[in-house]
Amino acid sequence: MVSLTYLAFHALFIVPPLVVLAVLTWRRRRSPLGLRLGALGVVVVTALAVGYTAPWDRFLIERGAWFYGEGRVARWVWGIPLGELLFFVLQPLLTALWTFQVDGSVAASVRHSRRDRVVGALAGLAVSAVGVALFLGGDSTLYLGAILAWAGPVFALQWAVGWRYLLAVRRRVLLAVGVPTVYLWVVDRIAIGNGIWTISETYTVGFGVLGLPVEEMTFFLVTNCFVVQGLVLLPWVARRWRRVAGDPDRPEVEDEVGMPARVIDRWRQ
């Protein structure tokens, strides 16, 4: 077996499907988001992925939750391999471009009440609570607990904004999440088998599927959920803002999130 570096892994398994999806997206040129708003969504999701994930990732590297094979990392940046930082950019982009292939029309009739927002926020915080309990429960659940504790606040925000809408278009969401998640599970297992990175047995529960630890499976599942849920919610939220802005008595209003409808209209052009 040829030993791959982290950057070679990207060149072989991440960049090619990303390029194909980029070409398909460009040729399609059709989305409920619109070109500019879709691009804005990708930029925001990617920026949040880098900013939110990097400190968490560095902490777990320092803790020893995983480590890298000798000679597999070309350069370290802020205690994180350069290839890993690239992953924070490439994975959201890959998943976003796939999501654009399976998107559909906006289910504008879905309503989301204040009570629904509270329920969604509490559900996300419950994920964090479980994660904290696992994180503090012992070494073997540290990695899984860290994933859930870290994922909960993002889920709380997204579910507060529109869990009812996500449920209404669940088939679209499942397809958008499922395909890139399974693909990343496969290539992650290849990387582990090749020795690019190794998941610590000390900080994992010891359960996996075909040699892929459940923690890695959970990580790619929740991160793809972040991307897909954000992009699926965006056109629905934009439609709500536009509907409110159409009230003749309120020519320039803001939704609970606080963005003027004219900003949405500008990005949809």
**Residue among 92, 66, 223, 228 nearest 147 (CA):** 223
User: Using an 8 Å Cβ cutoff, are 31 and 38 in contact?
Assistant: yes
Give the pLDDT score at 108. Answer: 80
Task: Give the separation between CA 64 and CA 50, rounded to whole angstroms.
Answer: 20
User: Which helix (DSSP H) or strand (DSSP E) does residue 193 occupy?
Assistant: helix 170-194
Give the pLDDT score at 265. Answer: 46
Residue indicated by tokens 């879905």: 110
Task: Give the separation between CA 237 and CA 240, rounded to whole angstroms.
Answer: 5
| pLDDT digits (tens), the chain, 269 positions | 688 999 999 999 999 999 999 998 887 765 556 667 777 778 888 888 899 999 999 999 999 999 999 999 989 999 999 999 999 999 999 999 999 888 888 888 888 999 999 999 999 999 999 999 999 999 999 999 999 999 999 999 999 999 999 999 999 999 999 999 999 999 999 999 999 999 999 999 999 999 999 999 999 999 999 999 999 998 888 777 766 555 433 333 333 333 444 444 444 44
Distance of CA 47 to the CA centre of its chain: 11
pTM of the model: 0.86
**Residue among 233, 247, 255 nearest 114 (CA):** 255
Q: Which two tokens stand for residue 36?
A: 């500019």
Q: Is 26 exposed, middle or buried (0-12, 13-18, 19+ CB in 10 A)?
A: exposed
Task: Give the separation between CA 150 and CA 120, rounded to whole angstroms.
Answer: 16
**Residue among 165, 180, 181, 147 nearest 230 (CA):** 165
Give the pLDDT score at 203. Answer: 96
Give the pLDDT score at 242. Answer: 65
Q: Which two tokens stand for residue 45?
A: 């999701």
Residue 207, classed as helix, strand or coil, is: coil
The most distant pair of C-alpha atoms in the chain lies apart, rounded to whole Å, by 69
Give the pLDDT score at 49. Answer: 86
